[in-house]
A and B are shown apart, each in its own frame.
Chain A
């Protein structure tokens, strides 16, 4: 029989003290859409669930030079935020395609990243937006680039006594356009077969800066650095984009494999096609601003 205790602290200090008391016998839970499902499917639970939902001041989307998003911001909030839709479009794309409205109403961006599935729909967008992860622990706050935060499949650099409290996106991303494509068999209620996020800065028709992130293409969400380097300084033409797609799909950038949900050769084809399509969409976002 599944048994656990449930605590709902009202401050970060309380969270730290509970984490200290229970150590690895406890797990953090936010929206619950990953944690509760895992408990049901594995029929196992930690001794204590420590809920973060009492930390109401971790729910915000702010712009003050940099963009700051509280870890407990729900996907639905991101979906409905005009700021996110217009200036952080890839994140809007990713958050609004997660599961269903019911899931998005409770699931959080912090939970999505801490769960660290290779398919996390906010991971690709945050990566191409140069996001930093802000962690807080009893010793204080620290900031880690998201690109260094994923240490393995379902593993992050969060220490056992830390809480992910915020995502910080540099203000300069305001000048980038971004887009995210979630490739799935149906338009809702699916994990992606593949995720492709692109952000671009243009100088006329030339790419002055680029970021490409892939999910479900490696054990963790990744950046396709080689493809990004290729794009920089090039004009945004079909040939260039096709090449960027090919590089992204190559072993230099990713390690797609066969799985229950899809085959490696097909995933490569999708990357090749959609890097270009998302780049074009990202470029349009800049123009439409």
Chain B
């Protein structure tokens, strides 16, 4: 098994990891960095539970070859709150508006929302739904998630 050494920024910190070249970004985050917020819901980019933000864009980390992360900036759910623990408006909104039920889809959901709201806090309902169309949720029916993202957008302005 051939290893590769990649250096990138992870939640604001410069990091280096040496992992097998066949590893995905998801596996590297979970098994090497022990950041288990990103989940393996399907492993083939069909559920969104593994969503993280790379250079400002939401991506499925299960399909992201680790080699490609060199020099890039990654945000996982563990990097969304402030360093002192203060929750991000999106996180607070999810807790206030029941956007979290079992919570399995939540990491990916929040990151898809953050990628959107960072660029466009005034996102319309349609834009919000488009941004989370790749994040499946079985518990909520999406309604309170969309509302939470709208609430967060308003607070982020």
Partner of B134, one of A4, A36, A100: A100
At the interface, yes or no: B4 with Cβ under 8 Å from chain A? yes
B1-40 vs A: 1/0 string, CB under 8 Å? 1101000000000000000011010000000000000000
Residues of B within 8 A of A102 (CB): 45, 48, 51, 58-60, 112, 134
Residues of A within 8 A of B48 (CB): 100, 102
Assign chain B's interface to a size class. 20 to 34
At the interface, yes or no: B76 with Cβ under 8 Å from chain A? no
| A105 and B58 within 8 A (CB) | yes
Residues of B within 8 A of A100 (CB): 48, 60, 133-135
Distance (Å) between the CB of B105 and the closest chain A CB?
Answer: 13
Partner of A4, one of B21, B57, B59, B131: B21
Give the distance in Å from the alpha carbon of A37 to the alpha carbon of B63 in the complex: 7
Give the distance in Å from the alpha carbon of A189 to the alpha carbon of B43 in the complex: 15
At the interface, yes or no: A40 with Cβ under 8 Å from chain B? yes
Give the distance in Å from the alpha carbon of A40 to the alpha carbon of B62 in the complex: 10
| B134 and A189 within 8 A (CB) | yes
A2 with B43, Cβ < 8 A, contacts A32-B65, A51-B68, A101-B133 known:
no
| A40 and B43 within 8 A (CB) | yes
Give the distance in Å from the alpha carbon of A5 to the alpha carbon of B133 in the complex: 33
Distance (Å) between the CB of B17 and the closest chain A CB?
Answer: 15
Assign chain A's interface to a size class. 20 to 34
At the interface, yes or no: A235 with Cβ under 8 Å from chain B? no
Residues of A within 8 A of B51 (CB): 102
Distance (Å) between the CB of A111 and the closest chain B CB?
Answer: 12
At the interface, yes or no: A103 with Cβ under 8 Å from chain B? yes
| B65 and A51 within 8 A (CB) | yes
At the interface, yes or no: A170 with Cβ under 8 Å from chain B? no
At the interface, yes or no: B78 with Cβ under 8 Å from chain A? no
Distance (Å) between the CB of B18 and the closest chain A CB?
Answer: 14
| A37 and B133 within 8 A (CB) | no
Give the distance in Å from the alpha carbon of A53 to the alpha carbon of B21 in the complex: 16
Give the distance in Å from the alpha carbon of A29 to the alpha carbon of B4 in the complex: 18
| B68 and A8 within 8 A (CB) | yes
Distance (Å) between the CB of B108 and the closest chain A CB?
Answer: 8
Residues of B within 8 A of A41 (CB): 44
| A40 and B44 within 8 A (CB) | yes
B129-154 vs A: 1/0 string, CB under 8 Å? 01101111000000000000000000
| B65 and A76 within 8 A (CB) | no
- 19 A–B contacts from the bound complex (CB under 8 Å): A4-B21, A4-B22, A5-B2, A6-B21, A6-B22, A6-B65, A8-B67, A36-B45, A36-B63, A37-B63, A41-B44, A53-B68, A100-B134, A102-B112, A106-B59, A106-B63, A106-B64, A188-B134, A189-B134
